[in-house]
Amino acid sequence: MNRASRRVASPRAVNIEDLRRLAKKRMPRVVFEFLDGAAEDETTLAANRSAFENYTFRPRHAVAFAHCDMRTRALGADVSFPALLAPVGCSRVMHHEGEIGIARAAGAAGTLYILPTASGHLIEDVKAAASGPLWYQLYLIGGRPAAEAVIERAWNAGFSALVVTIDTCVAGMRERDFRNGMKELASSPPLAKIPYLPQLLARPRWLANFFLDGGSPTLPNIIVPGQGPVPLLDVGAALARSAVTWDDFSWLRKSWPGPIVVKGVLTAEDARRSVDLGAAAVVVSNHGGRQLDSSPATLDVLPEVVEAVGNQVEVLMDGGIRRGSDIVKAICLGARAVLIGRAYAYGLGAAGTAGVARALEILRADVERTLRLLGCSSVAALDRSYLNAKRKDF
């Protein structure tokens, strides 16, 4: 474990914001703001966080119990607490350990990891590093032939669910990336890169690890027939050419033998359609505010989706999770579990595997402390009776 990992693993990183600040110090600005930023005015990014402030707790005091049961199940997979690791693309650019380090940390924490299509490591290598369950997230980059090949590989490797993201017909307008020279640094002629090079040179450790790891990676799991692996730089354009539609789900059901999760649901209508097309779970998600700005906060939409699907499928949610109390509020409103993205990715950027492990350790301790202070002995017992709402529509 290197010196940075030891620092992050220490108690001095006491919350997710501490990890965020460390990541900002250790990654080039262009990489940090790719992770940290969102679309347009970033109103949805802010709304995801502020939505949790609309609810306060209703604790039961003078209650004590020896054991606090934080376990839950997600599509049959046992997890130690109700936080799953969302697919975060380009993780290998944030830290050279990338998806392999994330999978290791998730397994050690007793939870599951969803490997993104935009992974810099091979499916088989991530599976070999993992000790916990894995799901695979699918974009149709490269079209159906490329998708069929990677789906088959994921199933053969032992991935237990397919997560289909439906909110990326085009990439959102992430303005920080333009200001920081993401395009120029990635693909422009050498002279166009010069104004942006100081931010890379300011992070020599990251830069050294980046080049020792081979520089800008490809997407090794997406093999386009006759072309080979898709370059990481082509992801935005590839998404625009390969949007997922509802018509794709009959083909997906034939191609993938296991359960399918639909990610990107923000309305009761889309939730019910997902159920009708055979989904086993839906994820209430606005892509962390990175796609359509002015989309609603996911916590605000969660009750609508839960009511729409009833007990037919499992409901997960993501967006704005930074504390264990956020996780508890989402469970009270009907989520089976939450997906965390930036919360663990800040840890990855700060110190690789050790940083991800610290993020999970922080959130797990937060959840247990919150349950004990609520007087609730298990995640399974959480419901709306543990919340007050500041809004009138609760």
Task: Delineate the domains of the chain, giving CATH numbers in brackets.
Answer: 3-387 (3.20.20.70)
Which candidate, 364, 293, 358, 321, places its Cα nearest to that of 23? 358
Shortest CA distance to 233 belongs to which of 96, 148, 120? 120
Sign of the dihedral defined by the CA atoms of residues 341, 365, 105, 352, in that order: positive
User: Residue 301 — φ and ψ, nearest 5°?
Assistant: -85, -25
**Catalytic, out of 95, 96, 121, 287:** 287
Q: What average pLDDT score do residues 225-246 get?
A: 72
Contact 86, 342 (CB under 8 A): no
pLDDT > 90 fraction of the chain, expressed in percent and rounded = 78
- What is the spatial distance between Cα 177 and Cα 186, in angstroms, rounded to a whole number? 11
Residue pLDDT, tens place only, 173-201 = 999 988 888 776 766 566 777 888 899 99
Q: Name the more confident of 227 and 26.
A: 26
Residue 89: closest CA among 368, 386, 287, 376: 287
Known catalytic residue at 287: yes
Question: Taking residues 224-231, what's their average pLDDT?
Answer: 73
pLDDT at 233: 59
**Predicted pLDDT of residue 234:** 55
* pLDDT averaged over every residue in the chain: 92
The amino acid occupying position 353 is T
- Nearby residues of 225 by Cβ (< 8 Å), 6 or more positions away: 145, 146
Q: Which of 10-14, 68-72, 323-327 has the lowest mean pLDDT?
A: 10-14
Confidence of residue 1 (pLDDT cuts 50, 70, 90): very low
Q: Is 60 exceeded by the pLDDT of residue 150?
A: yes
* DSSP single-letter state for residue 117: S
Quickly state the pLDDT bin for 97 (edges 50, 70, 90): very high
Q: How far apart are CA 103 and CA 360, in angstroms?
A: 12
